[in-house]
Amino acid sequence: MSKRKVAIIGSGNIGTDLMIKIMRNSELLEMGILVGIDPASDGLARAERMGVATTAKGMDGLIELPIWNEIELVFDATSAKAHAHHHSLVEKFPSKRIIDLTPAAIGPYLVPVVNFSEHGDLQNVNMVTCGGQATIPIVAAVSKIAKVHYGEIVASIASKSAGPGTRANIDEFTETTAQAIEKVGGADKGKAIIVLNPAEPPMVMRDTVFTLSEVCDQDAIRKSIHEMVESVQKYVPGYTLHQEVQFEIIPEDQAVFIEGLGHRHGLKTTVLLQVKGAGHYLPEYAGNLDIMTSAALATGERMVSLQNA
C-alpha cells in the first residue's frame, strides 16, 4: 500500500516533532513538505538535513508549488489566528483534508479514542488542546457509565515546554478545552485550567480530572477508565495513571454549586494522569506537545485507513 503524502504547516516544536514521528513511525503517511515562515528556523533546517522538502513562504507559498498537487493531508501546527487563513485556502480543494493542532476549532473537536467515527470523514477536524487530548478520554470514560454533571481538568506542564504558540493561546486553550469537555466528553458543564510549572528540573505533564456524576457502580467507572487509558496508550505509550482512581460521595445535603447548573450532588471521581513524551524531537518532559502530535498522527492514519477501507 502506497503512503499518502502530507504537509505540515508550522516549523516550530510541534510541527518538527510531528514530522519526525511520521518519518520514524508511520506506515501510512509520508512527509511531503514542512512549511514555515522563518527561513532560519531549526525545524526547516532539520527537515532539509533529513531530505524533506521545505518552504519558508507559508501556506500561500505551498499552494504555488508542484508538490501541492500530491498532498492529501495538511497538519496545521501554527496558531489559532493563522489557521483561519489556512482553512480558507484548503477548503477550496475538496479532496484535501486538514488536521488542526491549534485551538481555532473551525472544524469539530476530535479525540481519536472517543469520537473519530463521528468526524473522521470531514475535511477539517480540530485536535482540541494538549490538555483536552489527555483528559477528555477520562471524562468520556465516566460518561459511558453515568451522567456527568460537571467535568474539570487541570493541566500542569513544564514551563520550558510552553513555547510562544502555547503562551499566545492560553485563553483559547481554556475555552476550547472546556467546550470539548462538554461536546466530546459528555459533561453538562466543563472547566479547564492550565498551569505552567517552572520547576527545575522540568516536570513531566501532569493532568488532574474531576468529574461529578450520578451515583453509580464505582467498579464500573474504574474499569471504564482503565480501558480508556489502555486505548490512549496505543498511540501515546507514555500516558499513564499516576495514582489509582479516587471516589467520594457528595450527599444531597452538601450539594456543590456549579455555575450554569445550580446545585448538584452525586459521585465525585478524581483521576491523576502523567504524560511522558517519546523523546523524538522534544524532551520527555514535554508530554503536552507529544500527546498532540501523537493524537494528530493517529487521526491522520485513521483517516487514510478509512479511505482505504
Residue 271: how many other CB atoms lie within 10 Å:
26
pTM summary value: 0.95
Task: Identify the three-state secondary structure at position 161.
Answer: helix
pLDDT confidence bin for 272, thresholds 50/70/90: very high
Rounded Cα distance between 287 and 267, Å, is 30
Q: Which cell numbers hold the place of 276?
A: 511522558
Per-residue confidence (pLDDT) for residue 162, from 0 to 100: 86
Rounded Cα distance between 39 and 137, Å, is 38
Yes or no: say if 136 and 181 are a contact pair by the CB < 8 Å rule: yes
Per-residue confidence (pLDDT) for residue 163, from 0 to 100: 76
Rounded Cα distance between 62 and 58, Å, is 6
Per-residue confidence (pLDDT) for residue 64, from 0 to 100: 97
For the chain, what is the mean pLDDT? 96
pLDDT at 1 > cutoff 70: no
Pairing of strands 205-213, 266-275: antiparallel
With CA atoms as reference, report the closest residue to 9 among 296, 298, 305: 296
Which helix (H) or strand (E) is 119 found in, with range?
helix 112-119
Task: Identify the three-state secondary structure at position 140.
Answer: helix
Q: Mean pLDDT throughout 193-221?
A: 97
Rounded Cα distance between 292 and 195, Å, is 17
pLDDT confidence bin for 275, thresholds 50/70/90: very high
pLDDT confidence bin for 197, thresholds 50/70/90: very high
Q: What is the pLDDT of residues 85-100, one digit of tens each?
A: 999 999 999 999 999 9
Rounded Cα distance between 178 and 189, Å, is 8
Give the whole-number percent of the chain exceeding pLDDT 70: 99
pLDDT at 3 > cutoff 90: yes
Pairing of strands 189-197, 256-258: unpaired
Give the whole-number percent of the chain exceeding pLDDT 90: 91
For residue 5, give Cα distances in angstroms to 58, 66, 68, 96.
Answer: 18, 13, 10, 11
pLDDT at 224 > cutoff 80: yes
pLDDT at 276 > cutoff 70: yes
Domains and CATH numbers, the chain: 4-127+290-308 (3.40.50.720), 130-285 (3.30.360.10)
pLDDT at 133 > cutoff 90: yes
Rounded Cα distance between 8 and 1, Å, is 22
pLDDT confidence bin for 125, thresholds 50/70/90: very high
Residue 278: how many other CB atoms lie within 10 Å:
21
Q: Which cell numbers hold the place of 8?
A: 505540515
Rounded Cα distance between 33 and 267, Å, is 49
Q: Which DSSP state fits 248?
A: E
Q: Which residue is catalytic, options 101, 130, 271, 292? A: 130
pLDDT at 132 > cutoff 90: yes
130 labelled catalytic: yes
For residue 1, give Cα distances in angstroms to 18, 28, 48, 133.
Answer: 22, 8, 26, 29
- Which residues, other chains included, contact 117 with Cβ-Cβ below 8 Å and sequence gap of 6+? none
Q: What is the pLDDT of residues 289-299, one digit of tens each?
A: 999 999 999 99
